[in-house]
Chains A and B, each alone.
Chain A
Amino acid sequence: MQTHACPDCDLLQTIPNLPAGGKASCVRCGHTLATGTVEPIGRPLALSIAALLLLIIANIDPLMDLSAVGRHASTTIIGGAYQMWVDGEQATAVVVGFCAVIAPAGYILFMLTVLVGAGRTPVPAWVGELLRWADSMRPWSMVEVMMLGILVALIKIAELAKVEPGIGMYAVGVLMLLIPAIEVSFDPDAIWQRVVWVEPKASPEAAEDPHLGPSS
């Protein structure tokens, strides 16, 4: 049992211990406050390792190949951002590079480090710091949007020339599923409960439950 303030409406409420697969929603606004996960560290760790491998494949192998009148062309993710830069759209190239490569890579690498670091007792304070970094990368990691973009481009170009999907595209397709899977199987509270506080003099017992509870 823990008292929490809902991040969406600020209402104070106590969250009971949840069974696996259980979900606690805010009584007032419906925001999901907590979810019960089976293996909040092991499972996302396994998924993060798989995601790292696919991230490498997705960035090395070509997304698609084009052939027309004996000429061939292919592109990778970084090749797309690079071509935008060369064609004078530097700002767009930076946005594409960030959302398609840097943010997903950052999210996966930070999560991996957090999950490996979570195995130590007590959990060092830098794990919490990296978890904040991973959280700030997540909204900008747009692998699933990129996947749909690749498909639309593929179909558009198919009108003009022969195109074939490459290995990179399949890797992006799997990565698109792995990233939300990491997020769902992970419970940040499993880290925050055990992390070393930044200000060691503040006693956890005093601040954890300010004895409010639901007053009747």
Chain B
Amino acid sequence: MATALTAAQAGLIGCEHCGLLVQPASTAEPGHCPRCGSELESRRRRSIERTWALVIAATICYIPANLLPVLGTTTLGSTEYDTIMGGVIFLYTSGSWPLALIVLIASVMVPLGKLVALSYLLISVQRRSPGGNRERTRLYRMVEFIGRWSMLDVFVDTFTVALVQLDPLMSVRPGAGVMFFAAVVVLTMIAAATFDPRLIWDAGAEQEL
């Protein structure tokens, strides 16, 4: 290929929903896709600002999510509180270390990794770094793919609470940490959808080709 163009360089827009390549009358106000009717955008609008806002909000929620208890177990009058890390340690000491590892990865490392990865992608786009585009795009896809798995602990807590209801012998109640944890997962998933990977390629468009 001697010359390769992006849709933006050619004055075209690929519809994000149905994939139709559209030649809008004005690139500033492209209007709607004639085939599926969704709004046309050359790049996701205010992608960097919006993604930063969501990443910062998620980072703030990440702190109470880890410090506050997610579960409170009441056994014959005395209540014990567990944080996310507490749950991992409980699984480890009760002998199921593979499960402890799964929960540790899904609940602690994945959310943190997502926040770091998205921040790195945002900073590199803002600094117009030209290199490693393929690797950065791959990192973005990984963030998008893996994000949902952080919801694991929310489901574990939900079903533990729902099942262990043997008052007054033993009962489990959710703690305030669950809400913050669910908020981290939802916010980072929206942040990944708001980030536009095409921005990675825009910076070095001239050098690349």
Contacts and interface: CB of A to CB of B under 8 A. Distances in A.
A189 B19 contact: yes
A55 B189 CA distance: 24
B28 interface: no
Interface stretch (A25-33, A36-44, A106-114): A25-33
Nearest to B160: A153
A149 B35 contact: no
14 contacts: A84-B158, A89-B179, A96-B155, A125-B37, A128-B35, A145-B149, A152-B103, A152-B156, A160-B164, A192-B20, A198-B34, A207-B23, A207-B34, A208-B20
B76 interface: no
A99 B164 CA distance: 22
A7 B20 contact: no
Given A92-B174, A135-B17, A81 B2 contact: no
Nearest to A149: B155
A92 to B, nearest CB: 5
A83 B160 CA distance: 10
Query: Nearest 7 A-B pairs (CB), nearest first?
Result: A149-B155, A5-B14, A5-B7, A198-B37, A202-B34, A75-B162, A199-B34
A59 B118 CA distance: 36
Nearest to A3: B21
A5 B21 contact: yes
A22 interface: no
Given A3-B21, A84-B174, A163-B163, A96 B4 contact: no
Interface in B123-142: 133-134, 137-138, 140-141
A207 B21 contact: yes
Interface string B1-38: 11111111010111011111111000000001111111
Contact of A91 (B149, B152, B182): B182
Contacts of B149: 145, 148
Interface of A: 3-13, 27-31, 63-64, 66, 68-69, 71, 73-75, 79-84, 87-89, 91-92, 95-96, 99-100, 125, 128-129, 132, 135, 139-140, 142, 145-146, 148-150, 152-153, 155-157, 159-161, 163, 188-189, 192, 195, 197-199, 202, 207-210, 212, 214-216
A54 B17 CA distance: 29
A83 B197 CA distance: 40
Chain A interface SS verdict (over half): mixed
Given A9-B201, A132-B17, A145-B152, A87 B159 contact: no
A156 B156 contact: yes
B21 A4 contact: yes
B5 to A, nearest CB: 5
